[in-house]
Amino acid sequence: MQDDALNKVKNLLIIEGDMYRTLRKMVSRELEAILLHKDMEALLSILNEKQEVISSLQLLADSWMDALPLLGVDDLRGTSNFWSKLEVLFSEEQAVELNDILSETRAAAEDLIEAEKKVQIELEKHVQQLREKLLEYKHGRSAIIGYAKMGGGQLDVE
C-alpha cells in the first residue's frame, strides 16, 4: 500500500511538473507572438491552448483531493503542514525521492511564474498595439462571416 501511495503521489507531482513546463513553453510562444510577430491571432490561439492545460491542472488538483483520503492525510494540499505530514508516511529513502520530485515541480512552477511576469510586462508595453491588432482581427473575421452569410462562397471561418 505504501509503495502504491508513493507512486500515486510521485505520479501526480510528475504530471504537475510536466504541465508547468508545458505552460512555460507556451509562455515563450506568447512572448514570441507579442515581440517578434505582433501576431494577435497566434497569441489568442496560444491563450486558448493554455486554458486547456490550466483546466487539466484543475483536474489534477481534483485527483489530489481523491488521493489524500486514501493516504490518510486530511490536510489540504498547500497548507503549511501538508508535505511534512505526507513525508512521514514513507521511509526516509522514499521521502527523499518525493522531496526531489517536489523540488523539481516547485522549480518548474517558479520558472513559469517568472516567465508569466515577463509576458505581463511586455503585454503592458504593447497593449495599445495589441488592441489595434485585435480590432483588425475581429473586424476581418466579422467581414468574412458576413460575406459567407450573404452567400459569398464556402469559407472556413473557424
List average pLDDT for each run of 10 residues in the chain, which is 158 residues long. 76 95 96 83 89 94 83 76 82 90 94 94 78 72 62 48
For position 146, what pLDDT does the model report?
62
At 5 the pLDDT is 75
Give the global pTM: 0.75
Q: State the Cα torsion 104-110-111-114 to the nearest 10°.
A: 180
pLDDT at site 127: 75
| CA-to-CA dists, residue 46 to 7, 15, 43, 51, 111, angstroms | 32, 20, 5, 9, 18
The pLDDT score that the predictor gives to residue 88 is 84
For the chain, the structural domain boundaries read 2-149
Among residues 27, 18, 64, which one has the least CA distance to residue 46?
Answer: 27
| pLDDT for the residue 37 | 79
Q: 103, 12 in Cβ contact below 8 A?
A: no
Q: Could you tell me the three cell numbers for 15?
A: 504530471
